[in-house]
Amino acid sequence: MLGIVEKPVGIEVRLVEYTEDGERLVAISSKVSLSSKQAEKLLDMGEEEVEVWIRETFRRMHFSPWEHSTYTFLVDGLSRVASHQLVRHRHASYTQLSHRYSEGYLRRAALKACRRLGLSCPEKPKEDPRGRREAYNKYAQALLRLQAEGGHSEVFEAAWEAFVIPPTMRDLDDVVREYIRGAGVYYSLLAQGVRREDARYVLPHSLRTRIVVSMNARELVQVFFPLRMCTKAQWEIRHVAWLMWRELSKVHPRLFRWAGPSCVFRENTSRQQPAPLRDYLDGREAFTIPRCPELVERPAIPACLKVAARVEGGDGEFE
């Protein structure tokens, strides 16, 4: 059974809304495009027929009926590096946390630094009796002191609250301290009266954010998953894509069981009967394509797929 082993990535994906009867809607839309029956007969469809029409349109790569089923996700805690990759998918709708209002993540890092150093800091800037600037100054002092005096694990834990740190950089002490220094400089600028929209220029792109994204089933199956679930995708956006696929598989398994990275999508759209992604991962189904779209030769595809499902750096295992 495929399921994620949760590890401290700091990224959460929630499916907050979707076309509840999306599978039936896709099947009905498919039948409308290919059947000469009267409208009332098209709507009268049993579960077995739903299965047939979903499979038939997938096999034909006739995905326009899939556009009628839509899904809205809240992705929280990803970096702005990953969110900028996400918004490149143009057949989608987005609403993202304004960069100038990302201070909540930074404040969590500042408060952790305050607690580590035994400093008294207000939970919110407006709660400081001497005003917001004094609160910002306390946050800045705590962060810059932690950056200079704290042990690596202490600095890392504070930085993790506000920033996504790549697996390859988590043991690099000077890099982790640089994240905290950036946050400290940001608060020192606020303490001097610099506006947030200007102070944010000193923050790294790894700053966490949140975004609401809506996509239809066609965009997900035909474009997003093949590109972003693949090993060629950057590890963070790949992690997000696998989490999205997991959530969709819970509500509409008939639409998304054949979805996957480019190797699975190419294989399933070239064979007579598509197979579930789980079967390729577990070795119950073999690949027949000579190479995947990323030019990985057939013998190496199964191992490559398992790497994609594992997510680089051990940040989430789908097995």
Task: Give the pair of three-digit tokens for residue 281.
Answer: 């991962």
43 closest CA partner among 68, 55, 25: 25
Burial 86-112 (b: 16+ CB within 10 A, else e): beebeebeeebbeeeebbebbbebbbb
Cα torsion for 53, 54, 58, 64, to the nearest 10°? Answer: 90
Close Cβ partners of 181 (under 8 Å, ≥ 6 residues apart): 143, 144, 147
208, 228, 238, 254: which is the annotated catalytic residue?
228
216: helix, strand or coil: strand
Contact indicator for 76, 189 with CB cutoff of 8 Å: no
Name the region of 114 (left: φ>0; alpha: ψ -120 to 50; beta: rest). Answer: alpha
Instruction: List helix spans (H) across the chain.
Output: 22-34, 39-43, 47-60, 80-86, 103-117, 132-149, 152-162, 173-191, 196-199, 217-218, 225-228, 235-251, 253-256, 262-270, 277-282, 301-310
228 as an active site residue: the answer is: yes
Amino acid at 68: H
113 closest CA partner among 146, 162, 160, 137: 146
237: helix, strand or coil: helix
In Å, the largest CA–CA distance within the chain is 76
Please list the active-site residues.
228
